[in-house]
Chains A and B, each alone.
Chain A
Amino acid sequence: MSVMRTTSKVLAAGVLTAALAACSQTDTSMQSGVSEADVAGGPVVMRRITEGQYERIVAQVFGNTIELGGRFEPDVRAGGLLEVGAGRVSVTPSGFEQYDLMARNIASQVLEEKNRRILLPCTPAAADAPDDACASEFLAKVGRLLYRRPLTQNELAIQVNKAAEATGALGDFYDGLELSLASMMVSPPFLFRQEIMEPDPDRRGQMRLDAYSKASRLSFFLWDAAPDPLLLQAAENGELHTKAGVQRQVDRMLASPRLKDGVRAFFADMLEFDTFETLSKDTTLYPKFTFRVVEDASEQTLRTIVNHLLTEDGDYRELFTTQRTYLTPLLGSLYRVPVATPDGWAEYHFNADDGHAGILTHLSFVALHSHPGRTSPTLRGKALREILLCQKVPDPPGNVDFNIVQDTANPNFKTARQRLDAHATEPMCVGCHKITDPLGLALENFNTIGGYRNTENGADIDTSGELDGVKFGDASGLGQAVHDNPAATSCLVNRIYAYGVGREATKSESEWLKDQVSARFQADGFKLPRLMRDIATSETFYRVLPPDSEGQMAFASGNAPMQVVEK
């Protein structure tokens, strides 16, 4: 007979805030090593807003009903993050075409009759002639939200002028205003996150981010969104230049349900979920895999993460061992488990001996890092190293002589382990492949679409291996090995910092992260909100170097090359 457990946990936002406020982590002298005063700060990087951020800003400013009507040129990944890649890209001509198309489309919806009643704060004197006062009021108001700072006098004058000009040509106030608004939405202050520096009055000769730039950094970091009116106000009245002011805003934002958006955006970036868009599996071999599966798969992992790290205020490392997750009936058919809801999401606990443990056994990991027709232990192992442990796996040598692996083309090799035997025995291959293959082979119970299997082509699957000296027997053991590996948590710390500042950490920042932030992260039990608070309330997060200064080139790990891999 089956047993049903009902668990119902609601963690009130207030409890979380209280918990955080109770841990005052401002005493940096507690730890040895680098103190914040010694960290030099790093360069600012102008980042193009990502697809997700663009969509969210439009929804924030104009409401959820506005459709975009265009497409985005691909975001680029660098240092493992789209957010860092955002600091390397610009806008191509075809990208500009699409931004213009979307801007006009959005502006036209904003100013159409049914919306303008709500979104326009004034009515023009005449509907067919310019009205600079009304145009100015509207453009200043939305401009402050779109540009994440107030428009300068010159900027506003130009936009109002343009609106008037266009109104003159087209004979309609709203058409003219629409084009002016559209031009703002293709302008650099909207498309790019420019971080402006000013001299730091508290540290002679040093620079700091201006208040609006601080607000942006905070807001995109914690909520993956443009600053809301309260945060903009805090920027305007100087609050963000005080320690207490920053803490107040950070705590407000951490207590908000919008923290979920920020955490989801970060992990979707770190776990490379954007590559799901071009993932395809062979429908003849794997008919269960439809596009809906892709959507549900990334959602499953993000829900699991949000629940564990936010709702449960759990230990980050347990993401690799937790058996609790969320499934839809569709996912149930892929994992081959029953799902206790006819539609929507249901919590599900895998059994201890089910082989499913942690996000490494989620479809979002095993299916994403596999070929369309079969698994790839090498790809999975590489992904584990690079994404979750921040360890670079060298590229294959250019002049590999594949004649030496002639035998592995033997179709009689039944399991992946057998097929990859040469990786493990040929001297030329072993060096790199021993870093990746044993990890991926532990996941061989999961086929290319995440379904569990005990055999491959009739032969038993051997999932034993080791990770940096720690042995394991199966995927659960692998999850435990990752849990215990210090690289997992230090990777998270470095990644999330890079995510916040839009570039990889400098040498001194890295030392600070290692000595101070990681140590506190560990002392706090690896809780993500505390880590985010630690970073967001630090001085380092806002300390910047002037452009073209010497410190600019002192990256800790060097620029990470963009990955050229088969997906």
Chain B
Amino acid sequence: MSAVNMLANRRRVLRGMMGGTAISVGLPFLNCFLNENGTALAATNQKMPTCFGTWFWGCGLNPGRWEPNTLGPDYDLPPEVVSLEPIKSKVNILSGFKVFTDGKAQQPHHTGNLGLLTGHVSKNAGQDVSPSVDNIIADVIGNGTRFKSIEVTSTGNARHTQSYRGGSVVNPAEVSPAALYTRIFGDEFQDPNAAEFTPDPKVMARRSVLSGVNEQRRDFERHLGAEDKERLDEYFTSLRQFEQQLDFQLQKPPPAEACVIPENPGETPYSLDIEEATANHKLFAELLAYALACNQTRVFNVVFTDEQSTVRRPGTTTTHHILTHEEAVDEDTGYQPMATWFSYRIVEQFSHMAQVLDGIREGDGTLLDRTLVFGLSETGFAKVHSLENIPMFTAGSGNGAVRTGLHVSAKGDPGSRVGLTMQQAMGVPVTTWGTDSLQTSKAITEILV
């Protein structure tokens, strides 16, 4: 369609609005509210959308103190994972998986998580990064909501993110619960359960004006070399996603039974102080849960501690990271007491996140039942930067895509099996994933339904 005709159509739509006629004419994306079979979602008794999230922390746990002794259901809870007790039936513990480097130099506190999340270990840090599972999954399930995905970090640094789009592009993380609240539930929020809905003419105008940017795409691209063009493509992808956000604002969202607008948490301090990080994490957990319940997004990424886990207790001189390297092992107990203190806190928060999701009732189940959370760290033993036996959990069954309450151990298998399983559970049409020794086509059938 030529530019002129596009403009004419838009004018028709707008005039239609001013005249008070129905808005469903001419808006191209109604499909997104239907599922694959073309049947309507979110009418009563229909399946609620499946959601996916990652939950990351640095410096792992102590080997031997988190892997249950039994396999399968009814697993025991070793000391560092006792806080999973209340939610155990919905949690899987995955042990024994490793990341292979195939001789490439390991970047401590980076290679492990990249191997697990992207299936690929690059030769040099920051280069040649593949997309992470959350982005692959969001490409499939994330197009029907206002936000394709939401990233948060408890550490106060927007660079602490594990959501890789590929190349050197990462999705930055929100550091402030108050800012996230404004972003999701502020002025632009359309309440799915509101009785009335009137599309905002200003939003329509914005949408229409913004389309002018895309119209000039070819002109903007003309002078660029290959790499710069790729980056401009990324820009246009982001523009498209933003336009979709506006499109959603112009539609009456389908009702969401459990959607409640939470309270604005107010400004909170954020830093690497573990107390502040924990307080912020709790606020983020609640905001994300309601973001999911209100269909604002279906994909989320949480960083609780950064790759090196530089969080620290107030009044102490050392961080979790330094403690894992320098603290002496207590001869009686066999582990580093102060470093291990962090292990408990971390798993407590993972458990908390899962419980917050589980606390939102939807029909016969809970929000957690239709969510799949992939919890992971980046090392099996921080002291020596081991890539063996990296702790991973899942919480929730993703609308029955995954069995829960199991301990699966696959001694020495590539951890990319977990990423593959997550993708298949979420409906990504992938049979083989990963590169070199991380390449796998073996999903974890013990949990994949």
Stretch at the interface among A156-164, A438-446, A481-489, A528-536: A156-164
Question: Does any Cβ of A come within 8 Å of B208's Cβ?
Answer: yes
Decide if B212 touches A162 in the complex (CB within 8 Å): yes
Tell whether A566 pairs with B209 under 8 Å between CB atoms, given A165-B10, A168-B14, A196-B223.
Answer: no
User: Do the beta carbons of A183 and B213 come within 8 Å of each other?
Assistant: yes
Q: Which of A44, A97, A278 has the most CB of B within 10 A?
A: A278
Q: Is A7 an interface residue (CB 8 A)?
A: no
- A197 cross-chain contacts in B, Cβ below 8 A: 223
Interface string of A24-50 (1 = CB under 8 A from B): 000000000000000000011110000
CB distance from B152 to the nearest CB of A (A): 11
- Write out the residue numbers on chain B whose beta carbons fall within 8 Å of the beta carbon of A71: 179
The verdict on B24 contacting chain A, using a C-beta distance below 8 Å, is no
Rounded to whole angstroms, the CA-CA distance of A180 and B106 in the bound complex is: 49
Complex CA gap A545/B322 in Å reads: 47
Q: Which of B176-231 contact A (CB under 8 A)?
A: 179, 183, 201-202, 204-206, 208-210, 212-213, 215-216, 219-220, 223-226, 228, 231
Residues of chain B within 8 A of A88, CB atoms compared: 168, 231
Residue of B nearest to A198 (CB): B223
Q: Is B315 an interface residue (CB 8 A)?
A: yes
Q: Are B110 and A564 in contact (CB under 8 A)?
A: yes
Partner of B245, one of A97, A188, A409, A419: A97
Closest to A163 in B: B209
Identify A373's interface contact among B101, B317, B384, CB under 8 A. Answer: B317
Instruction: Count A/B pairs, Cβ under 8 Å.
Output: 233
* A105 at interface, CB cutoff 8 A: no
Q: Are A398 and B7 in contact (CB under 8 A)?
A: no
Chain B residues near A401 (CB-CB < 8 A): 384
> Given contacts A90-B235, A280-B273, A399-B385, are A548 and B212 in contact (CB under 8 A)?
no
Say yes or no: A398 contacts B111, CB within 8 Å: yes
Checking A158, A188, A547 against B212 with a beta-carbon cut-off of 8 angstroms, the contacting residue is A158
B404 CB-CB contact with A under 8 Å: no
Selecting from B236-244, B251-259, B343-351, B353-361, the interface stretch reads B236-244
Map CB proximity to A onto B411-443 as digits: 1 under 8 Å, 0 otherwise.
Answer: 000000000000000000000000000000000
Known A-B contacts A90-B169, A564-B307; A166 and B205 likewise in contact (beta carbons under 8 Å): yes
A367 to chain B, nearest CB (A): 15
Q: Which residues of A contact B168 (CB under 8 A)?
A: 76, 78, 88-89, 562
Q: Does the CB pair B314–A92 fall under 8 Å? A: no
Check A282–B383 contact: CB distance below 8 A. Answer: no
Which residues of chain A are near B101, meaning CB under 8 Å?
A: 398
Contacts of A154 in B (CB 8 A): 216, 219
Contact among B172, B212, B383 for A94, CB-based, below 8 A: B172
Whether B235 lies near A188 (C-beta < 8 A) is: yes
- C-alpha spacing A248/B73, complex, angstroms: 79
Most buried by B among A45, A397, A561: A561
CB pair A92 B169 closer than 8 Å: yes
* CA distance in complex: A165, B205 (Å): 8
Are B205 and A169 in contact, CB atoms less than 8 angstroms apart? Answer: yes
Cα A403 to Cα B325 in complex, Å, equals 9
Scan residues 254-286 of chain A and give those whose CB is less than 8 A from a CB of chain B: 278, 280, 282-285
Given A371-B319, A373-B317, A398-B107, verify A179-B242 contact (CB < 8 Å).
no
Q: Is the CB of A566 within 8 A of B107?
A: no
Contacts of B209 in A (CB 8 A): 162-163, 165-166, 179-180, 182-183
B319 and A566 within 8 A (CB): yes
Q: Give the Cβ gap from A555 to chain B, nearest Cβ, in Å.
A: 13
Is there a chain B Cβ closer than 8 Å to A415's Cβ?
Answer: no
With both beta carbons as reference points, the residue of chain B lying nearest to A195 in the complex is identified as B223
- B47 CB–A CB distance under 8 Å: no
Q: Is B321 an interface residue (CB 8 A)?
A: yes
Instruction: A545 to B134: give the CA distance in the assembly, Å.
Output: 38
Q: Is A176 an interface residue (CB 8 A)?
A: yes
Please give, as numbers and ranges, the residues of chain A lying within 8 Å of B225 by CB-CB distance: 43-44, 547-548, 552
The contact string, 1 if C-beta is below 8 Å from chain B, for chain A 530-558, is: 00000000000000000110001000000
Given A90-B235, A93-B238, A94-B171, residue A371 in contact with residue B208 (CB < 8 A): no
A552, B220: Cα distance in complex, Å: 21
Would A561 and B321 be within 8 Å (CB), given that A170-B205, A278-B157, A409-B326 are in contact?
A: no
A547 to B169 alpha-carbon distance, docked (Å): 22
Cα–Cα distance between A87 and B326 once the two chains are bound (Å): 39
B138-163: contact bitstring with A at CB < 8 Å (1 yes, 0 no)?
00000000011001000011110000
| Alpha-carbon separation in the docked complex, A508 to B213 (Å) | 39
Q: Is B271 an interface residue (CB 8 A)?
A: yes
Q: Is the CB of A282 within 8 A of B326?
A: no
Q: Is the CB of B105 within 8 A of A409?
A: no
Q: Which of B110, B124, B228 contacts A46 (CB 8 A)?
A: B228
Contact with B along A354-395 (1 / 0, CB 8 A): 000000000000000001111000000000000000000001
Task: Evaluate contact between B231 and A165: CB separation under 8 angstroms.
Answer: no
Q: Are B317 and A165 in contact (CB under 8 A)?
A: no
Q: Which of the residues B106, B158, B238 comes within 8 Å of A90, measured between beta carbons?
A: B238
Q: How far is the CB of A252 from chain B (nearest CB, A)?
A: 28
Bound together, the chains give a CA A183 to CA B246 distance in angstroms of: 14
A100 near B315 with CB under 8 A, answer no
Which single member of A73, A97, A278, A566 contacts B242 (CB below 8 Å)? A97
Q: Are B14 and A169 in contact (CB under 8 A)?
A: yes
CB atoms of B213 and A398 under 8 A apart: no
Which bucket holds chain B's interface residue count? 35 or more
Residues of B within 8 A of A187 (CB): 213, 216, 220
Q: Which of B172, B235, B273, B316 contacts A73 (CB 8 A)?
A: B172
Cβ–Cβ contact A194 & B205, under 8 A: no
Bound together, the chains give a CA A406 to CA B328 distance in angstroms of 7
Asked if A562 and B316 sit within 8 Å, CB to CB, the answer is no
Determine whether the beta carbon of A282 is less than 8 Å from that of B385: no
Interface string of B74-118 (1 = CB under 8 A from A): 000000000000000000000000000100011111110000000
Q: Which of A95, A161, A188, A548 has the most CB of B within 10 A?
A: A188
Q: Does B310 reach chain A (CB closer than 8 Å)?
A: yes
**Measured CA separation A399–B100 after assembly (Å):** 12
Please, how many angstroms separate the alpha-carbon atoms of A281 and B439 in the complex? 43
Within the complex, the shortest CB–CB distance from B16 to chain A, in Å, comes to 11
Cβ of A189 within 8 Å of any chain B Cβ, yes or no, is yes
Point out the residues of chain B lying under 8 angstroms from A169, CB to CB. Answer: 14, 17-18, 201, 204-205, 208
Q: When the two chains form their complex, are residues B107 and A283 in contact, meaning their CB atoms are under 8 A apart?
A: no
Q: Nearest-CB distance from B299 to chain A (Å)?
A: 12
Taken together as a complex, chains A and B put the C-alpha atoms of A548 and B227 apart, in Å, by 9
Q: Is B126 an interface residue (CB 8 A)?
A: yes
Which of A78, A92, A94, A176 is B205 in contact with, Cβ under 8 Å? A176
**Is the CB–CB distance between B315 and A284 below 8 Å?**
yes
Structural contact, B206 and A395, CB atoms closer than 8 A: no
A466 to B405, CA, bound (A): 59
State whether the Cβ of B65 lies closer than 8 Å to any Cβ in chain A.
no
Asked whether, in the complex, the Cβ of B318 is within 8 Å of the Cβ of A403, the reply is no
**B-to-A contact residues, CB < 8 Å:** 7, 10-11, 14, 17-18, 101, 105-111, 124-127, 147-148, 151, 156-159, 165, 168-172, 174, 179, 183, 201-202, 204-206, 208-210, 212-213, 215-216, 219-220, 223-226, 228, 231-232, 234-235, 237-239, 241-242, 245, 271-273, 307-308, 310, 312, 314-319, 321-322, 325-329, 383-385, 387
24 examples of A-B residue contacts, CB within 8 angstroms: A44-B228, A46-B232, A92-B165, A92-B171, A93-B237, A161-B7, A165-B209, A166-B205, A169-B17, A179-B205, A186-B213, A187-B213, A192-B235, A278-B159, A280-B156, A280-B272, A280-B273, A283-B314, A372-B312, A372-B317, A398-B107, A547-B228, A552-B225, A564-B307
Top 6 nearest A-B pairs (CB, nearest first) are A398-B106, A547-B225, A373-B317, A562-B126, A90-B234, A284-B315
- Interface set of A (CB-CB < 8 Å, partner B): 43-46, 71, 73-74, 76, 78, 88-97, 100, 104, 152, 154-155, 158-159, 161-163, 165-166, 168-170, 175-176, 179-180, 182-183, 186-189, 191-192, 194, 196-197, 278, 280, 282-285, 371-374, 395-403, 405-406, 408-410, 419, 547-548, 552, 559, 561-564, 566-567
